[in-house]
């Protein structure tokens, strides 16, 4: 069976370990003596982010969380975005297709945005509100990987709004660093 908690524990552990070491990753993901492994998902998310943010600076926390994206459903989404790219000749045309709009893409003043009217993270289903956007940075990492593969260039992603931070939508700015259509 698909266990999102186990997957999240593994990807967070690996990302923290890559930025520090095994001992630090263990303490942050599972707490001292593994005490937090039995917490419900909402409590574990909040406690893990608190431990992460108390151990690393903001920039490192963001990079760790961006490296935590699980890749769930990536192949399907990648095929969809590649279809949109193939059927357009520029960024505005790409984002203004009906299928793109339905998927949450938009184009405003020369910039590409992706939004969700709901929180797409199953780990946050029971979380009313987060104190910081640290957990949400995994979705920026996911979007970065998705759009880099689809666009064939480096892509920056900025989290602008988060439902779990009290906003009415989740909103990211997608910033291609090179020309997509040559």
| 86 and 158 co-located in one domain | yes
At residue 7, the pLDDT reads: 87
| 42 and 93 co-located in one domain | no
Residue 49 lies in a domain: yes
| 38 and 123 co-located in one domain | no
Phi, psi of 112 (to 5 degrees): -100, 135
Residue 71 reports pLDDT greater than 60 = yes
> 35-44, 62-71, 85-94, 152-161: lowest mean pLDDT where?
35-44
At residue 37, the pLDDT reads: 64
Please write the tens of the pLDDT for every residue from 72-101: 788 999 999 999 999 999 999 999 999 999
At residue 35, the pLDDT reads: 64
At residue 84, the pLDDT reads: 97
| 142 and 54 co-located in one domain | no
138-170 residues labelled b (16+ CB within 10 A) or e (exposed): bbbbbbbbbbbebbeeebebebebbbbbeeeeb
Task: Rounding to the nearest 10 degrees, give the CA dihedral for residues 90, 92, 94, 96.
Answer: -150
In terms of DSSP H, where are the helices of 120-173? 137-151
Residue 23 lies in a domain: yes
Q: What percent of the chain has pLDDT over 90?
A: 80
Q: Is 100 exposed, middle or buried (0-12, 13-18, 19+ CB in 10 A)?
A: buried
Question: What is the arithmetic mean of pLDDT over 158-163?
Answer: 97
Question: What is the arithmetic mean of pLDDT over 122-130?
Answer: 91
Choose one of 38, 66, 94: the last residue of a domain: 66
Radius of gyration in angstroms for the set of CA atoms belonging to the chain, rounded to a whole number: 17
Choose one of 37, 66, 95: the last residue of a domain: 66
Residue 182 lies in a domain: no
Residue 1 reports pLDDT greater than 60 = no
Query: Encoding tokens for residue 170?
Result: 């989740």
Please tell me the distance from the alpha carbon of residue 125 to that of residue 166, in angstroms, as a whole number. 14
Please tell me the distance from the alpha carbon of residue 150 to that of residue 146, in angstroms, as a whole number. 6
Q: Is 178 exposed, middle or buried (0-12, 13-18, 19+ CB in 10 A)?
A: exposed
Higher pLDDT, 120 or 36: 120
Query: Encoding tokens for residue 137?
Result: 């940075």
Choose one of 48, 66, 84: the last residue of a domain: 66
The domain tally of the chain equals: 2
| 57 and 86 co-located in one domain | no
Query: Encoding tokens for residue 77?
Result: 């989404």
| 81 and 26 co-located in one domain | no
Residue 96 lies in a domain: yes
Please write the tens of the pLDDT for every residue from 3-55: 788 889 999 999 999 999 999 999 999 887 666 666 788 989 999 999 999 99
Give the structural domain span for 162. 74-176
């Amino acid at each position: 069976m698909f266990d999102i908690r186990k997957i999240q524990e593994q990807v967070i552990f690996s990302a923290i370990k890559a930025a520090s070491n095994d001992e630090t990753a263990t303490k942050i993901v599972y707490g001292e003596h593994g005490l937090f492994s039995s917490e419900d998902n909402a409590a574990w998310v909040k406690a893990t982010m608190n431990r992460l943010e108390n151990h690393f600076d903001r920039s490192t926390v963001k990079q760790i969380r961006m490296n935590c994206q699980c890749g769930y459903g990536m192949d399907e989404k990648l095929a969809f975005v590649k279809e949109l790219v193939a059927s357009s000749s520029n960024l505005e045309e790409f984002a203004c297709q009906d299928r793109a709009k339905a998927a949450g893409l938009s184009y405003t003043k020369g910039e590409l945005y992706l939004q969700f009217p709901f929180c797409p993270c199953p780990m946050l289903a029971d979380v009313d509100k987060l104190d910081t956007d640290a957990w949400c940075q995994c979705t920026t990492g996911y979007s970065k990987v998705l759009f880099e593969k689809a666009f064939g260039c480096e892509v920056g992603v900025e989290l602008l709004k988060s439902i779990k931070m009290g906003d009415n939508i989740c909103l990211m700015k997608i910033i291609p660093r090179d020309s997509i259509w040559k």
